[in-house]
């Protein structure tokens, strides 16, 4: 249970970082 929650949080952090990175790239292109 704890491992699953930890993995979920880990993936959430990765997704947020990817979205943030894409946002920065988008503003850079504009």
Tens of pLDDT, residue by residue over 11-22, are: 788 889 899 999
- Between CA 21 and CA 3 the distance in angstroms is 27
- Residue 28 pLDDT class (50, 70, 90 cuts): confident
pLDDT given at position 20: 93
pLDDT given at position 5: 67
pLDDT given at position 21: 92
| pTM of the predicted model as reported, rounded to 2 decimal places | 0.55
> What average pLDDT score do residues 1-30 get?
81
- Give the Cα-Cα-Cα angle 23, 21, 19 (nearest 5 degrees): 70
- Give the Cα-Cα-Cα angle 30, 16, 26 (nearest 5 degrees): 5
DSSP sequence for 1-30: -HHHHHHHHHHHHHHHHHHHHHHHHHHHH-
């Amino acid at each position: 249970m704890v491992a699953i929650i930890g993995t979920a949080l880990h993936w959430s952090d990765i997704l947020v970082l990817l979205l943030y990175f894409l946002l920065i790239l988008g503003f850079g292109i504009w």
